[in-house]
Amino acid sequence: MRTRMNFYFSEAVRSLATNKATSIAAVVAMFVALLIVGAAGVGFVKMRAQSAAIQKDASMVKVFLKGNITSAQMNTLQAAMSGDSGISKVEYVDKDEALRRAKKLFKESPGIMENLAGNPFPASLEATLKDPKKMSSVAGAYRGQPGVKEVRTGGADARRAITILQWATAVFFAVGIGILVAATVLVSNTIRLSIYSRRREIEVMKLVGASNSFVRMPFMIEGFVCGVIASLLAMAAVVGLVKLLAHTLQSLVGDSTTIGTADGGAPIGFIALGLLALGILLGMFGSASSMRKYLKT
């Protein structure tokens, strides 16, 4: 068994070295296809992450507190919100945390924060709703309450943004599927040309009694090797692209090690492993499908 596998691998390596032009063509075709699929995948995940983040904000009512609110007013307000049937969670945000969030939000424009006199941001109570459709009624219940300065909600702008992002997510998904189908056809045709140039070799092997599996295996290993090489190149390109965008478009990409947010993101390593698996599948499937004509299977 080991001797046969050694033969398969040696034949695959010999064939790759002998047919450099067609092997490089197959690798390039898979690399381009995987790069586009990877870019579409990153966009799809990012759109889902942004939609989840905005959905979370849209499901929240923020009750900003007056600076002179008393302990009794605070306790009454917290008790009322905690017992509200339309609210699932209440979080207190003090002035220091509000300032920290503002600094994070405007970190690309530090001049805005440097010109502030002291800490102008009020403390607040952030209520996460069970049903975003009840936002208006929940918000209205706390407007004008003792110690309450202002009540804000996600409102129509957030819902509009969610709709746009949902459409964008669907477009990225459809584009990714379309590119994947086109990539499969492209890679299969490229590998078919490679196998066509060696059809005499296949015919000779069949004439001397080689089984279909014996003939197919070296080509499958070739497809595997080409897929791995193309995947590694595509992985490096996608990771490099994400890191580049992380420096130039921080608001769109975020952390260069994670695509999206904690609510809807995915580690960049996960995207890279997906490209590796897809490249291997493309290479091996392309080889197997292209061999059918010559093996009559």
Please say which residue of 154, 175, 206 terminates a domain: 154
Residue 127 and residue 221 in one domain: no
Taking the C-alpha atoms of residue 273 and residue 266, their distance in angstroms, rounded to an integer, is 12
Residue 31 and residue 170 in one domain: yes
Residue 47 and residue 193 in one domain: yes
Amino acid 247: pLDDT: 57
Of the two residues 144 and 18, the one the predictor is more confident about is 144
**257 pLDDT tier (thresholds 50, 70, 90):** very low
**153 pLDDT tier (thresholds 50, 70, 90):** confident
Please say which residue of 94, 123, 154 terminates a domain: 154
Amino acid 254: pLDDT: 46
Name which of 36, 39, 46, 42 is nearest 251 in CA terms: 46
Domain count, the chain: 2
Amino acid 263: pLDDT: 40
Confidence check: pLDDT of 225 > 60: yes
pLDDT in tens, 2-21: 676 776 777 677 767 777 77
Note down the domain range covering 68.
58-154
Token representation of residue 178: 């379309």
Residue 28 and residue 91 in one domain: no
Token representation of residue 195: 């196998």
Token representation of residue 206: 């069949």
pLDDT in tens, 268-296: 677 778 888 888 888 887 777 777 766 66
**261 pLDDT tier (thresholds 50, 70, 90):** very low
pLDDT in tens, 105-129: 777 666 666 767 778 888 998 888 8
Taking the C-alpha atoms of residue 292 and residue 258, their distance in angstroms, rounded to an integer, is 41
Taking the C-alpha atoms of residue 229 and residue 223, their distance in angstroms, rounded to an integer, is 10
Residue 281 and residue 239 in one domain: yes
Please say which residue of 92, 125, 154 terminates a domain: 154
**Would the pTM of this model clear 0.85, i.e. be above it?**
no
Residues 56 and 153: beta-carbon distance below 8 Å: no
Residue 149 and residue 291 in one domain: no
pLDDT in tens, 32-73: 888 888 877 777 777 777 666 666 666 778 899 998 888 889
Amino acid 262: pLDDT: 37
Amino acid 207: pLDDT: 77
Residue 46 and residue 166 in one domain: yes
> What's the rounded mean pLDDT across residues 90-110?
81
Residue 32 and residue 166 in one domain: yes
Residue 163 and residue 149 in one domain: no
Residue 180 and residue 214 in one domain: yes
Residue 134 and residue 222 in one domain: no
> What's the rounded mean pLDDT across residues 238-260?
58
> What's the rounded mean pLDDT across residues 159-180?
72
Confidence check: pLDDT of 222 > 70: yes
Average pLDDT of the residues of the chain: 75
Q: What CATH number did the domain enclosing 87 receive?
A: 3.30.70.3040
Residues 218 and 72: beta-carbon distance below 8 Å: no
Separation of first and last alpha carbons in the chain: 24
Residue 45 and residue 167 in one domain: yes
> What's the rounded mean pLDDT across residues 165-172?
72
Note every long-range contact of 214-219, with CB atoms under 8 Å and residues 24 or more positions apart, other chains counting: 215/291, 215/295, 216/287, 216/288, 216/291, 216/295, 217/8, 218/8, 218/11, 218/12, 218/15, 219/12, 219/15, 219/195, 219/287, 219/290, 219/291
